[in-house]
A and B are shown apart, each in its own frame.
Chain A
């Protein structure tokens, strides 16, 4: 930030920043410090405040097999939604980037899922995948009982994952297309002069050049799978059947607000926070390196 045209004014910048800093302190830093406090303390059942228990909350979480199930499920959820959504979005963006006639029409459609609330998509997909309804459920007519997300955990998880991947298409598409369009046309033309055909050029020239965007999206998708999955799971499965679609966020919500185990939920929040912070940090390191290479 090497600007030279600075204003010098001792009060004004603080006045400008005050509202934002205030909100940030109240709604981010205070809750976070509270979460830390709760994570290391336990509320006495008969009142009298919290007692300091060091890592006990974490230890009991890590001893909980159900929690590890949630972690593994979240990992699987993150990988599949991210992979699926990014692959589809990238393919579409690569073709749209060829700017054939009529592409604008497709381009505007591909952005739509971005606008949809996760719970709204959840409701729509729940109907689409409902075993008793006449869409996917139709195959139960042919092979009775082959599809039942209400009782089969894998079916339920697959349903949520497909919906989440669909929701991510719009966002991923926008960023991929933007990255592709920022590649100078001359690079493609040089490739054509070297004899590469359009598909080869896509693979050899365009894909490597959008690697930084792909990496950025990878991280954003993983984080989104940790956070945005709540609305979907709550409307589609409520974590069921028997907890088999419960991911980390949902478990935090459930333990905290239904189970009223604030200490456990806080400890889980801390773990999830560390995960998100770690991922963001990795992303920054990467971006920094890319800047150096350029």
Chain B
């Protein structure tokens, strides 16, 4: 603050307070409604004070939407996607930034262009891959000789029985490729001074040692930021899990269960249970963001490194 301006300061607080109200009110109502009894929640107008039934509503929602196993599924998917994305993004960016090889730019663009193809817009054909993956999959991999490569690299045998429907692989793998992550890592790696690479070369470090001993420790902040973004976005995935899981009981995620919590058109309008369920489902990513906020914001914006 440069000068004293009490009136403008007051306006500033006022605006921030209104903003905070706008932002918080949906959370508050979710909490309030989630703590009320069926009778209280059905009142018009509703009371904006929390009541005492939070715990029973939470357990009702937990039971109705079978949130226990669903939570576990969501956690497996979110952690799997996050770890996968960070691993792939850092490896790809390392190859693109620090190696001089034919096809460097092509690889970069191949990955980068996918930024323009969000899952939602290619949903129909992507689903077809999962539902009817076998034949076209095998064809393209065989013609490109990639079957062989997969086998050589990861040991995964690409065979006709690789079914993505109703599996963690199907929930996770299509989300793991990441242009955003690769791009962010590339941006960061490009700020690493040449001399640091050369110093490590003089110290006798091989590329992989440089990656693990120097690059990864240096990109810790960026990694945390990226992990936060990735965790939130994969926890909150809705459309893809909806398509890839027909066996909801075993492979459904919590976010998919939200719809099941909404009171039926002519059923009991027990919004208190619905809202308690929404509360449970909102909480994990909210906690992650609140807890990681410092790194998350810094990792996204800081260029002064």
Contacts and interface: CB of A to CB of B under 8 A. Distances in A.
Interface in B92-112: 92, 94-101, 103-104, 107, 110-111
Given A23-B177, A124-B275, A269-B125, A98 B197 contact: no
A123 B22 contact: no
B243 A88 contact: no
Interface string A78-98: 000000000010011001101
Contacts of B141: 26
B125 A32 contact: yes
Interface string B217-232: 0000000000000001
Contact of B122 (A5, A32, A99, A126): A32
B235 A16 contact: no
A19 B154 contact: yes
A111 interface: yes
A130 B126 CA distance: 35
B258 A91 contact: no
A106 B99 contact: no
A210 interface: no
Interface string A186-222: 0011001000011100000000000000000000000
A141 B45 CA distance: 9
A132 B136 contact: no
B46 A133 contact: yes
A28 B114 contact: yes
A8 interface: yes
B94 A199 contact: no
Q: State which size class the interface on B falls in.
A: 35 or more
A8 B140 CA distance: 30
B22 to A, nearest CB: 7
Given A17-B107, A20-B92, A21-B111, A112 B27 contact: yes
A128 interface: yes
A124 B30 contact: yes
B289 interface: yes
B123 A269 contact: yes
Given A16-B95, A188-B2, A35 B124 contact: yes
A134 B23 contact: no
B124 A91 contact: no
A269 B118 CA distance: 11
A157 B88 CA distance: 39
B114 A265 contact: no
Contacts of B23: 109-110, 112-113, 166, 169-170
Interface in B6-45: 8-9, 12-13, 15-16, 19-20, 22-24, 26-27, 29-30, 33, 41-45
Given A19-B88, A92-B16, A38 B120 contact: no
A135 B29 contact: yes
B282 interface: yes
B271 A34 contact: no
A61 interface: no
A67 interface: no
A31 B128 contact: yes
Contacts of A138: 44-46
Nearest to B43: A134
A182 to B, nearest CB: 7
A76 interface: no
A72 interface: no
A24 interface: yes
Nearest to A119: B258
Given A115-B289, A135-B45, A127 B97 contact: no
A277 B124 contact: no
Contacts of A265: 124
A141 B101 contact: no
B50 interface: no
A215 to B, nearest CB: 17
Contacts of B288: 115
Interface string A137-153: 11001000000000000
Contacts of A32: 117, 122, 125
B173 A23 contact: yes
Interface stretch (A47-55, A249-257, A286-294): A249-257
Given A124-B26, A197-B8, A230 B239 contact: yes
Interface of A: 1, 3-10, 12-32, 34-35, 38, 88, 91-92, 95-96, 98-100, 103, 106, 108-128, 130, 132-135, 137-138, 141, 166, 169-170, 174-175, 177-178, 181-182, 188-189, 192, 197-199, 223, 226-228, 230-231, 234-235, 249, 252-253, 256-257, 262, 265-266, 269, 272-273, 276-277, 280
Given A32-B125, A35-B122, 5 more contacts: A17-B95, A21-B111, A192-B3, A228-B120, A266-B124
Enumerate the 3 nearest inter-chain pairs by beta-carbon distance, A residue then B residue, closest first. Answer: A134-B46, A117-B236, A178-B301
10 contacts: A6-B98, A13-B99, A18-B149, A30-B125, A31-B129, A32-B117, A115-B286, A119-B258, A132-B44, A166-B26
